[in-house]
Structures are given as C-alpha cells and as structure tokens.
Amino acid sequence: MKIVFFLTQDLSSPSGLGRYFPLAKELVKLGNEVKIIALHSNYKSIKETELIIDGVSVKYIGQMQVLKVNNEKIYFPARKLLFIMMVALIKFIFFALFLNFDVLVVGKPHPMNGIAGVVAKYVRNKKIIIDCDDFEAQSNRFQNKVQYALIKFFEDRIPLIGDVVTTHTEFNKQRLLNLGLSSDKVKIIPNGVDRERFAQVDLKEVENLRQELNLTGKRVIGFIGSISLKSHPINLLLEACKLIIPRYPDLMIMCVGGGEDIGVVKGIANELDISKHLLMIGRINPDEIVLYYKLCYLTVDPVYDNATAKGRLPLKMFESWACDIPFVTSDVGDRKFYLSDPECGMLAMSDSPIELANKIEYILVNKDTKDRIIKNSRNRRKLFYWDVIVYDFLDGIKHEK
C-alpha cells in the first residue's frame, strides 16, 4: 500500500517525532511504501529537503507556521504568516493532485494540509485519514481572533471529509462525535514509544552527562516538552517544587525543550526564589532524549483541568515508562485510565500546586512505591510500542469507504 502523510510540522517537532514518524517507520516495516510531505520549522536552514530515514521518504516543502531558531519559537506577523500558509497550501495541493498514493493521512487538520485533503478526496477519490492528535484551537497561541476562527473552522470541518478519523483521547473523540461524525468512523490511536529510539542506553553516557550538567548527588525532577505555558503550565510545577525544596535541598528541576516561554519560566523561578534549583536545557538532539530521561528521579506533566489538557495524551508519560522513570501528573482527561489499575504513575488533584507537591514528595520518600510504579509500567508499556499500535492503525485504513 502507498501511504502519504501531509504534516504541517517537521520530524523534530513533538508529534512529528513522537507520533507520525514512528508510525510511518512501522508501516514501512510491514511492507508499505510511505512518504511524508511536511513543513519545516526553519526551512531556509536545511541543506537537504529530501531524505530517506529508516525507509521512509521525507520531503520538506516549505516553512511551517512558526519559526524555531535555537531554543526560541518565533511567531510571524499576520501578513507574512498568510503568505507562508498560502505557499504551503499550493504545494500541498500539488502533491494531492499528482503524487501516486492509495491513502492520505492528514496529520493535524490545518488549512494547508486540510484543503489538500479535500482535493485528494473529491478530485481523485482517494481514501483520507484525518488524525486529530490535539485540540489545536485551544492549545495554540493566536495573534488575533481571525486566526483563531480560521484554525477552529478547519479543525471542526476537515474531519467531516475523512473516511476514518483517528485521535488519541476520549475527549477529542467526543468532540468529533459532537461535530456530527458517526462512531464507526472515529478510532482511538494512542500515543506510544518508538522501541528502537528508546532502546537500552549506555549508563556511562548518562553519568558523563550528569557530571557535565553538575547534577551529581542531585535528585532531578524532569519536565521534557515544549516550554510553552499555553499548553504546558510549568508554573504549576515550579509552585509545587517551591513547597518541598526546603525539605529536599538536593532537588533540581530540569526543563528540556525549546519554546517561546523560556524567559518567562526563568522569571517565575526567580520570583519564587528557586532559580538555583532550575536547569533550563533548551532544545536537544532527539537522539539524546533517553539520556535526559535517565537523569531524572521522576518526571512531571503539569496540567490544569481545561480543554487543552483534556485533548492531550502526553508523550512524556509513555516515554517515562520506557525509561523506567516514575511519572507524576494530575487527574485530567484520560490520564487516570492509563495510570491506574495497576498504578503506573501518581495522580494529583487538578489545579493544585499543593496536591502536585504531595505526590512528588510521596515518590521522593517512598522507594517501595517508586519501585512498584516502575514494575507496573514495564508491563503496561508493552501495549504502547508503535510496532504494536501500527496494527490498530492499519485496521482503520482498511475500513471500507
């Protein structure tokens, strides 16, 4: 089968790296021909626009809607953004019309890849899979109400043309059903872990990195993800740590990732007088991510009880499982389903730094609980490697039109 992905992000961005590429790679292993047509976060900086990675053909065709330079995420002025989107739209439509494929996967239904999906379906009668892996209208930042309305319109309308619509949370599934989709069209495809990428790590490399970062003798609380307070309220984590650091002066908060709020996070830590306990790593080589997980005593996904969090299924949960690191978050969305029966992480009451601090501290002082969580997670993670999940995805593709 010839399968093509239309993505509005590159393969270093969270969903590109953690969801679409590992899925594409596993599809290739099963004998499918897979291409990824994508936008890039810094298109002018790349030397090669066409690559073959683990058997997957990747072609970058233009700039994505934000610019990522070093650790920063830069938003374009409205007129320039419109121009960038129009160029991307034209290119996606070209590939929708002339590329040879059997199935098109629209990853995150934005205007550029979404309209191209409409063209592929109604002009060429191709099977279309729409993957809604976040609640984009709630989790992104917009410069004005027009941008918000545009993204929301396409996020609500493009799924209606899909032969199959995939998503990863019950919240997103219910939202899609409320839009008018029939239940037989909507399929849950959870996030997962690339088994090869999270293979056994060299512990000597971990210890070398620990020394390099001056973390020897420290217990590291890790946040690994985008430094964007709109979707990841790291302030909640900092407020929680403020409460327990006086009792555990060996604690370090390590934030790994780039984003527009790095300076804001540093400012919050300074206001809370815990800046000496905060280590901002910035954006790293994706191949090194396992090393940073292994530095952690535990990882945290701080969330508020809102639509943004309910629409997310954190990759860091699955990745923490894969690295034998206890995971702490709040009881929002589907997190309880994945972390309970048996206990595979700690769940705090939502919206409370005090409750989050209590759960973090519980792992710090209860080694038996920490070990039990790790043991349970080892069993549960077996279901969430992409070489397992890929079969559920293929069942969706085989769904009759």
- Please write the tens of the pLDDT for every residue from 376-391: 999 999 999 999 999 9
Say yes or no: 51 and 187 in one domain.
Answer: yes
Which tokens is 177 given?
């059903």
Q: Between these two residues, 200 and 77, which has the higher pLDDT value?
A: 77
DSSP states along 302-336? ---SSHHHHT---HHHHHHHHTT--EEEES-TTHH
| 215 inside domain | yes
Q: What domain range includes position 59?
A: 2-192+386-397
pLDDT of 71 above 90: no
* Cβ-proximal residues to 333 (8 Å cutoff; 6+ apart), any chain: 169, 170, 171, 303, 309, 310, 311, 312, 313
pLDDT for res 398: 75
| 52 inside domain | yes
Say yes or no: 215 and 272 in one domain.
Answer: yes
Mean pLDDT of 293-311: 96
Say yes or no: 241 and 135 in one domain.
Answer: no
Say yes or no: 144 and 211 in one domain.
Answer: no
Task: Say how far apart CA 249 and CA 231 lie, in whole Å.
Answer: 29
Say yes or no: 291 and 163 in one domain.
Answer: no
| 46 inside domain | yes
The H or E element that residue 114 is part of is helix 111-124
Say yes or no: 390 and 380 in one domain.
Answer: no
% the chain with pLDDT above 90 = 88
Which tokens is 25 given?
């790679």
Mean pLDDT of 134-155: 77
pLDDT for res 88: 97
- The CATH number given to whatever domain includes residue 65 is 3.40.50.2000
CB atoms within 10 A of CB 368: 7
Which residues of 178-241 form beta strands (DSSP E)? Answer: 186-188, 219-224
Say yes or no: 44 and 162 in one domain.
Answer: yes
- pLDDT bracket for residue 401 (50, 70, 90): very low
pLDDT for res 139: 64
pLDDT of 140 above 80: no
pLDDT for res 151: 84
| 333 inside domain | yes
Say yes or no: 306 and 184 in one domain.
Answer: no
pLDDT of 40 above 80: yes
CB atoms within 10 A of CB 322: 22
Task: Say how far apart CA 320 and CA 52 lie, in whole Å.
Answer: 28
- pLDDT bracket for residue 304 (50, 70, 90): very high
| 198 inside domain | no
The H or E element that residue 278 is part of is strand 278-282
- Please write the tens of the pLDDT for every residue from 45-58: 999 999 999 999 99
Say yes or no: 362 and 219 in one domain.
Answer: yes
pLDDT for res 396: 78
Which tokens is 70 given?
């070093």
Say yes or no: 188 and 217 in one domain.
Answer: no
CB atoms within 10 A of CB 308: 22
Lowest mean pLDDT among 1-15, 100-114, 140-154, 193-207: 140-154
Given strand 56-63, what is the order of strands in its sheet? 50-53, 56-63, 33-40, 2-7, 103-107, 127-132, 164-167, 186-188
pLDDT for res 267: 98
pTM: 0.94
Task: Say how far apart CA 182 and CA 178 lie, in whole Å.
Answer: 9
pLDDT of 263 above 60: yes
- Helix, strand or coil, per DSSP, at residue 219: strand
Domain count, the chain: 2
Say yes or no: 265 and 188 in one domain.
Answer: no
| 197 inside domain | no
Say yes or no: 254 and 380 in one domain.
Answer: yes
Give the bridge partners for 298, in sequence order: 221
